[in-house]
Amino acid sequence: MKICIIGLGSIGGYLAFRLAQAGRDVCAVARGATLQSVQQHGLLLSHVDAPEQLSSVPLTVSDSPAQLGPQDLVIVALKTTALDALPSLIGPLLGPQTRVMWAMNGVPYWLMKGLDARWRDIRLEATDPGGRLEAAIDPGRIIACVAHMAASCPQPGHVVQAFGDRFIIGEPGGAQTERLAAVSQALSVPGVGLEVSDAIEEAIWLKLWGNMTMNPVSALTGATLDRILDEPMVRRFVSAAMLEATAIGDRIGLSVGMTPEDRHAITRKLGAVRTSMLQDVQAGRAIELDALTASVSELGLRIGIETPNIDALLGLTRLFDAIRTQRLKQGA
């Protein structure tokens, strides 16, 4: 199977490394410093507990998708803030039977397609402004992926794994198909804890359920997960927002099956973790607020469920990000 990865950040870079290490036919689309680093030094991987143990694998990379040509599987692992470029990037990689594995945070543009018929025509502007993604990538091509791991990229082309290597994949709608089996076989390599799910939308919603609150709160405060949950008033606010998302999920058929306190207990065990949004703030990068939080607020509005706590968090974080962006442009 010919595999191409778009996005050599922490998730895409980790998958690319493990696939290349296992001898799979894998390449990647990369630009700028990442392209130059991988061409010169290979793709690098280390672990946060052993930074001196740096491993490298050669990887075919190009800033020209046309040069790489049609693939059997394209793995999209971009930050959602970079999605505007995806329609023009992915076209040359798509053949008639190409599958597209969506390995990204937040509400994906195709999520509603696998749900009850009454929800399938909902398109969220926060997720797919103007419908450009759906026009470029037929939802029928999608294989979904939920990544449960913590990693970072301190330098372009260098992934540092903190913990976890769990990847859940599935067909939207839950079918068990030959193409899903083929993708599963291709991704079954050492270092990738692969699971196949017949309820991938529920797995997406469950991960989002925590991310939509903890990420923005961490961005606003600069706090790690443990400190957020150790502040009682903030914990109550986060729980209230999560209950609003629970009501949305229940309405569209995506039950989380636990209480906010159940989830907090799991999250608390992770310790002093910096969320991906906090990492982006500290690095001066754009944040994934639309995919993680604005999408849930918009969905609540579309299906008639009020979300005052989610909306308050969204508004505060938008204001914070606007001021932050202004200061970055001014060089402050």
CA pair distance 163, 49, nearest whole angstrom: 10
CA pair distance 273, 226, nearest whole angstrom: 7
CA pair distance 227, 234, nearest whole angstrom: 10
* DSSP letter for each residue of 276-295: HHHHHHHTT----HIIIIIH
Rg (C-alpha) for the chain, rounded Å, is 19
Residue among 132, 78, 76, 82 nearest 100 (CA)? 76
Residue 2 designated active-site: no
Angle between helices 308-330 and 200-221 (to 10 degrees): 50
CA pair distance 26, 167, nearest whole angstrom: 18
Dihedral class, residue 65 (left if φ above 0, else alpha if ψ from -120 to 50, else beta): alpha
Point out the catalytic residue in the list 113, 207, 269, 329.
207
Bridging pattern class, strands 43-47 and 50-57: antiparallel
**Segments of 63-178 assigned E as strands:** 71-76, 94-102, 142-155, 158-170
Residue among 45, 4, 38 nearest 24 (CA)? 4
Dihedral class, residue 173 (left if φ above 0, else alpha if ψ from -120 to 50, else beta): left
| Residues acting as catalytic residues | 207
